[in-house]
Amino acid sequence: MVGLSHKTAPVEVRERIAFTAPGRLSEALAGLKSAGITEAVLLSTCNRTELYVAGDTGPDVLLELLAQLHPEAPPKLSSYCEERRGHRVVEHLFRVTSGLESMVLGESDIARQVKDAYGAAAQAGLTGPTLNPLFHKALEASKRARTELDLSRGAFSVGHAAAQLAEQLFGSLRGRGVLILGAGDMSEATARHLASAGADTIFVANRTFERAARLAEVLGGRAIDYEAFPAQLAKVDIVVASTSAPRPVVTRALIESSLPARRHRPLFLIDIAVPRDIEASAGDLSDVYLYDIDDLQAVVSVESAARQRRAAKAETLISHEAQVYLEKSRAALAAAPLVTALRARHQAVLQSELARLYRRLPDLTDAERAAIEAFGESVLQKIAHDPTRQIRVLAEEQPEKLDTIREVFALDPSPGPFPSVFPTSSAEGKGSIPSGSPSLAPSETETGEGRGRGMGR
């Protein structure tokens, strides 16, 4: 995994490597595929952009490719990024999906975002035997943390934080007018919190009017044409911006032109988009208060003791789930050479016997041969099923018995071309990674680097 997050990069950097604009994610996935990457998931949210890849492509190459995929990628991107390998990727993804790495601890929306990112990659043909089970188990572990520990209960959302800030500014939101730019989930969540706090006049503008109308109906507000939103800036008290525009849609000049009609009434701007929707310098204007996604962190970082206890339990649960997955992955990799060798032995016997049969019955038609081969393959699959399943069970529960399996079936005792993709930290050396090898870098505890290692810093 290579990428950046709210922990390593400010919003002005994150917005320049976000793949949230319409069509940009699918273009990036197509670019990864054309670059020869066979398994990859690109997770891009307002708080993180992370590229998960299975294979032996080095992090420097992946980082360069990531920068090439985005036309507005910042220079020296590596100075804001971190990379993880092997088991550290598994642990990180499990934590990300459960909300333990989120700006808002335990927030639930990240699980949907991970699921959507994985679904987009699968649709693009970029998932396979490594990433499929990994993302499935990460999502399952996240669900456990939320249902068993109620991890999201009491968690501030971005919308909740925005409503609190608005109440601090205005005292009460009753009678306040709100303009919503963008009709996505973040916009709706924030608008609901503002409405719950008392805001009763809500306008919704979106490039697709039908979506604006649907959201306005849900909120009890009114949809307006997108081109008409500048006129509302002189009338409303709060603006929530969360579109997918690649650059600001609310400029300083636009805000400045509305100020005379406002007669010094405060204007509260909430920019929860990445890339940002509101020009940063607009916050320098008199009577204008601008908060972006990073500014909300000060609000959402205040956690209750009860929520911290739930988070601590979630840490334990997620760590356990990640370790269980890693152990099963190691077992599957240990079993794979034996399963392959056993099936190859069975297949060799089948082909040898078919050759003998065809020599004895040279007049068989193509259809008759096809029927015989299909029958033989069916018998072979049934014979191999139970031994294959038992080998996998032994690899997981009694790996020392795998040598007995090799002896019984006279199989090649060497592990073959199935390297350990998820070694334990004790098995990881401190040496450099051989060229082309999928072996892993040292663990966090060995290097003292913490959860991520900075690149180019």
- Give me the active site residues, please: 46
Long-range residue pairs from 63-69, CB within 8 A, at least 24 positions apart, any chain: 63/2, 63/455, 65/31, 65/32, 65/35, 65/37, 66/2, 66/3, 66/17, 67/17, 68/31, 69/19, 69/27, 69/28, 69/31, 69/32
Residues 6+ apart with CB under 8 A from 75: none
Distance, CA of 268 to CA of 279 (rounded, Å): 14
Give me the sign of the Cα torsion angle 187, 190, 196, 198: negative
Are the C-beta atoms of 276 and 248 separated by less than 8 Å?
A: yes
Residues 6+ apart with CB under 8 A from 329: 90, 133, 421, 422
**What single DSSP character describes residue 55?**
S
Residues 6+ apart with CB under 8 A from 370: none
DSSP per-residue letters across 326-387: HHHHHHHHHHHHHHHHHHHHHHHHHHHHHHHHHHH-TT--HHHHHHHHHHHHHHHHHHHHHH
For the chain, give the longest Cα–Cα distance: 101
Query: In this structure, what token pair is assigned to residue 291?
Result: 């908060």
Q: Which helix (H) or strand (E) holds 19?
A: none
The strands making up 238-241's β-sheet, listed across from edge to edge, are 222-224, 201-205, 177-181, 238-241, 267-271, 288-292
Are the C-beta atoms of 233 and 255 separated by less than 8 Å?
A: yes
Q: Would you tell me how many other CB atoms lie within 10 Å of the CB of residue 121?
A: 25
> Which residue, 249, 173, 234, 244, is CA-closest to 211?
244
User: How far is the CA of 256 from the CAs of 365, 405, 414, 442, in angstroms?
Assistant: 86, 78, 73, 54
Are the C-beta atoms of 97 and 139 separated by less than 8 Å?
A: yes
Q: Which amino acid is at 204?
A: V
- Taking each helix axis from N to C terminus, what angle separates 185-196 and 209-219, rounded to the nearest 10 degrees? 30
